[in-house]
Amino acid sequence: MELKGDKVKKVEKVEDGYVVYMLDKIYHLKKVNIKESELLFINEVIEYVNNNGFDNIIKFQRLSNGKPYMKYEGDVYVVIDNYNLIDLKKDINALCYASLLSKFHATAKGFAAKFEIKPSVVWGKRLEKYKNLYRVLEKFIDEVSSKSKHNEFEQQVIPYLDELKSRSKKSMKVLRSISYIDLLETSMKNKEIVLYDIGKNSLAEKDSRHFIYNVFDISYGLIEEDLAVLIKKCNKNLKENIIDIYKENSPRELNIDVLEAYILFPENTLKVIRDYVKQRDLSLIDKFKKASIKDGVR
């Protein structure tokens, strides 16, 4: 393999691809499980924000054929620098990410995909997920209400059902409101770009600089969703600090009611209940306990 004419010294297999040692640089040949059209869209967004002054985000190397990806044995890979991943659970890292997130949103605002590139769009998709999870919750409540005896998982969950239902309904009420519809229209008009997935491998460091690392769900969407996901991943006491830091570079005024509705919805906990309804696996008790802590369910 050759990158820009440099010779490869060594190739090391890693969990998500290969680390390629060149004569004067180290690259990560990262396997990605997304369509080529989606990858082209993501690369266009990254190049757009780079050209507008935001370079705290990973970049895909363009290869000799001009493409920002390569195929190897039927799989798709991107070539990126070799970064150190940083845990978002540490408060200082979460606050750093909040700053990067707002700058990314502000810089990406207004991006128009090229006609030949199919854009990824997630406006309203999370709401549909919430609706489906709420239906599962109602089904589960009806089921346990009709039984005189309950297994270990059901006994663990029952004390939380009233709160789960109440929080879900309050959240859904906001997300079904005219205010939410108006916000979606504003977001579409502004052509807002979101990361959509903010998780364990979202922040990276290289040469004493921080970078947005998980870019593989970049889409058109609502900025409040990204901010809510970040807040839910972090120490709950950081919420106000994260919002304040985000507001320093926010591309528009945040709709706090919608943001709070996303934060309120007990998504992690309902996903475990959904899995139980499908699998009837009693070992999900531990997963439920962890999810309820993440969601702040008491």
Note the pLDDT tens digit of each residue in 146-186: 999 999 999 999 999 999 999 999 999 999 999 999 999 99
Q: What is the mean pLDDT of residues 214-224?
A: 97
User: What are the pLDDT digits (tens) for 225-258?
Assistant: 999 999 999 888 999 999 999 999 999 999 999 9
Give residue 72's pLDDT band: very low, low, confident or very high (50, 70, 90).
Answer: confident
Burial (CB count within 10 angstroms: exposed 0-12, middle 13-18, buried 19+), residue 19: middle
Judge whether residue 286 has pLDDT over 70: yes
Q: What is the mean pLDDT of residues 107-130?
A: 92
User: Which three-class secondary structure string do you get for 146-206?
Assistant: CCCCCCHHHHHHHHHHHHHHHHHHHHHHHHCCHHHHHHHHHHHHHCCEECCCCCCCCEEEE
- CA dist., res. 70 & res. 182, Å (int): 41
pLDDT at position 44 is 96
Judge whether residue 2 has pLDDT over 60: no
Give residue 1's pLDDT band: very low, low, confident or very high (50, 70, 90).
Answer: very low
> Where would I find the beta strands (DSSP E) of the chain?
8-14, 17-22, 26-32, 70-72, 75-81, 84-86, 193-194, 203-206, 209-212, 219-220
- CA dist., res. 292 & res. 259, Å (int): 20
Best CA proximity match to 36, nearest among 216, 196, 201, 221 = 216
Q: What is the mean pLDDT of residues 210-216?
A: 97
Provide, rounded to the nearest whole percent, the portion of the chain with pLDDT above 90.
Answer: 79
pLDDT at position 6 is 57
- Phi then psi for residue 18, to 5 deg, are -140, 150
Judge whether residue 65 has pLDDT over 80: yes
pLDDT at position 74 is 86
